[in-house]
Structure 1
């Protein structure tokens, strides 16, 4: 008679465990800004740019103010977000393969050998675990929109998407997907609606080519900034940031309208930084493609109402962390090859000694040997940042050491007077990756 209550308790506990295991995992919306400096948000103190929707997301979520991407160039950065690996591991180090001898522009893109190598680069992602591939194990449907360098959306493991990737019809870095945000939000709204109606958890890759060039914002936003900005080019960029923020608001509002915001993990970051050259329609030095924070740093925001306590963290975070973070939220173990930590695990974030990154050439030197395209490796440990040049591509560049707390603009190289700190951080970089 005494056994029966215990049996009832065991049955009840088993039922509770089964119910927990069967609980629907969160939807995941990944918002990726494109060519957007870490300073250019009103919540980060920009004096003129207003980003109320991203500000609201930051206020409602956990915001890592010292977030970074490993590479300050679109294609390798996006591939690292998707795979949780560094570029030297997934091998998408650059935007494009080597240029064919004597060819540039369309002539290069149409070259048979160039296209063949681009197809090989797509294959690097086709064959390894990605966020949507792993989420599919828990019944997720997924959708790609916006910037995408991996050929057809299926190459990344998405169940649906916008990018066809056909080079004969403009396929390179997003093709049809590049209309998202700039021209329409309907494809992502339709995906959310259909997923919600089916009862399936969903993963949305929302990566509009914004505020990326072309800087052609609506006149109403450009007019707002023309008398405040130091030049027309800067005004256009500021207006593009605000236009992008408006699209984020439309997306977040749609989650609210469908009643799924509380069941959705929203993740925000930029793929790399951008400092607008005031004198020309291009980026300034020390931003995109550079080894400096102007190209590498980004806020990383995680919002999941009722599950994530809102707040700010000054701990270091990396886009490498997003794959394990998202998969953990879905009660999945990240693939062993994924390098980051779960940003929702405070003890894991606290225990990490340093973060790392690498800068490569825009066009690869040899797509099969990442070290041939390497320009710099870098690490940040505490307040200290060390930059090591790769002599094959940067023969004259100095070793650089900065104290980011005292010198966030990285204006004073302290390497010569701090040889012991250089040696300490060099060991960290060497243990992380020594190019072969």
Structure 2
């Protein structure tokens, strides 16, 4: 019997990376912080020379930080759906922000309130109900959950949240968050109130904090803007940089509230951005090429931080790869819950599993879904990062693959595909093998 127990413990530690699954009485609260449109470089702890992010810098010092973190798609809606489901876009079926409508004269953003187009929007939104999302799975274990900020999939209840700010009614302007978009920009009281009620009720909680920050419109308070009004910055850059610091302050306010309520040590905090953004220096509220909606690191790379004081040893990992598909299995494992067998990600707290990983994958789609019944028709690129090599493959058969050494050349200035044809072939085979398993 003793040998069986020891063997079981060994398997358990191997699968969890030695972190230890939380018992029901000690399951952590979960705060998921998702930045909206922020480049992987745009933090103090990532080495930016101008942008100041003191609160996220502190969180980084208290976290297991993967600086080589990625999201599969550089567009917000499919990226957010991946975070909450743990599935790639081709698996969860949400591959764009809006559907293409049968009447080309109608803008998809404006057509959502018209009943004749309801099926196209509903086909996308109802997909979230078919997956065991994080709040749904946590809810089965007694968690209550709150949605705030960006949310595209209709009412918050469709994602499994017990509470939320987004009504999702297209007749009242519901699209990507509606009333929820006030969070951060207009304070954090809905989150504070929810946490206090959860604490009073003795319930573990899950908070989705996905403010539209530093996302445009770049309208920072004057006290932040003044700091970045410098001769070496254009007005467009000044406003975006100030937005990054304003967002950072809201993160600091959230963490300070947890500390005041004596909940910080019982709360797992995970941080990442939904996609990148490189500010066009001459066009306010506009992104530059090779950032948002692109397959380049300016669009898909983000630091990923996991923090739980006393449970997770702070460490900065500049070598190993992490992906937003890992968020769901990481949260579930930390909360002592089983991970659905169909999730492709790994537990980021399992250092052995992270170190053994050699490749991560992604897929880039157009802004509008060409065919809601066949969501991968809008595919524009696939990509793979294998150790330090990144291969970008256009969906257009006439397009040429691009190859970069993203460790030696993080800004992807030197396409090495013609110099390494055998490596391109090898990575293409690996990418095709991954893609062949798509649903």
So what's the TM-score if we normalise by structure 2?
Answer: 0.92
Q: Which residue of 2 aligns with 1:226?
A: 229
| Cα distance between partner residues in 1 of 2:120 and 2:158 | 15
- Structure 2 gap ranges (5+): 3-20
Quickly say closer, same or farther: Cα 1:20–1:216, change in 2 above 3 A: closer
Quickly say closer, same or farther: Cα 1:367–1:257, change in 2 above 3 A: same
1:224-276 Cα distance to aligned partner (Å, 9 max, x none): 11115521011000000000000001100000000010000000000000000
Quickly say closer, same or farther: Cα 1:229–1:144, change in 2 above 3 A: farther
Q: Which residue of 1 aligns with 2:387?
A: 382
Tell me, yes or no, if structure 1 residue 353 matches structure 2 residue 329.
no
Q: How does 1:43-58 map to 2 (within 5 A)?
A: 43-58=45-60
Q: CA RMSD for the aligned pairs?
A: 1.6
Shift of 1:109: 3.0
Aligned length: 416
| Cα distance between partner residues in 2 of 1:198 and 1:381 | 47
Tell me, yes or no, if structure 1 residue 306 matches structure 2 residue 310.
yes
Q: How does 1:178-257 map to 2 (within 5 A)?
A: 178-257=181-260
| Cα distance between partner residues in 2 of 1:327 and 1:25 | 10
1:164-220 Cα distance to aligned partner (Å, 9 max, x none): 000011100000000000012100000110111111110000000000001000011
| Cα distance between partner residues in 2 of 1:232 and 1:86 | 37
Secondary structure of the corresponding residue to residue 268 of structure 2: strand
The match for 1:291 among 295, 300, 303 is 295
Quickly say closer, same or farther: Cα 1:108–1:250, change in 2 above 3 A: same
Of 103-112 and 204-213, more deviation after overlay is shown by 103-112
| Cα distance between partner residues in 2 of 1:398 and 1:113 | 40
Larger radius of gyration: 1
| Cα distance between partner residues in 1 of 2:22 and 2:302 | 35
Shift of 1:427: 1.2
| Cα distance between partner residues in 2 of 1:320 and 1:20 | 21
Tell me, yes or no, if structure 1 residue 264 matches structure 2 residue 233.
no
1:262-302 Cα distance to aligned partner (Å, 9 max, x none): 00000000000000001112100000000000000000000
Q: Which residue of 2 aligns with 1:139?
A: 142
Q: Which residue of 1 aligns with 2:404?
A: 402
Tell me, yes or no, if structure 1 residue 339 matches structure 2 residue 324.
no
| Cα distance between partner residues in 1 of 2:296 and 2:117 | 30
Shift of 1:68: 0.3
Matched-pair contact (CA < 8 Å) for 1:229–1:235:
no
Matched-pair contact (CA < 8 Å) for 1:37–1:275:
yes
- Structure 1 gap ranges (5+): 1-5, 7-18
Shift of 1:116: 2.0
1:112-138 Cα distance to aligned partner (Å, 9 max, x none): 343321111111001111111111121
Matched-pair contact (CA < 8 Å) for 2:24–2:336:
no
Q: How does 1:24-173 map to 2 (within 5 A)?
A: 24-99=26-101, 100-104=103-107, 107-173=110-176
Quickly say closer, same or farther: Cα 1:128–1:20, change in 2 above 3 A: closer
Tell me, yes or no, if structure 1 residue 174 matches structure 2 residue 177.
yes
| Cα distance between partner residues in 2 of 1:417 and 1:251 | 49
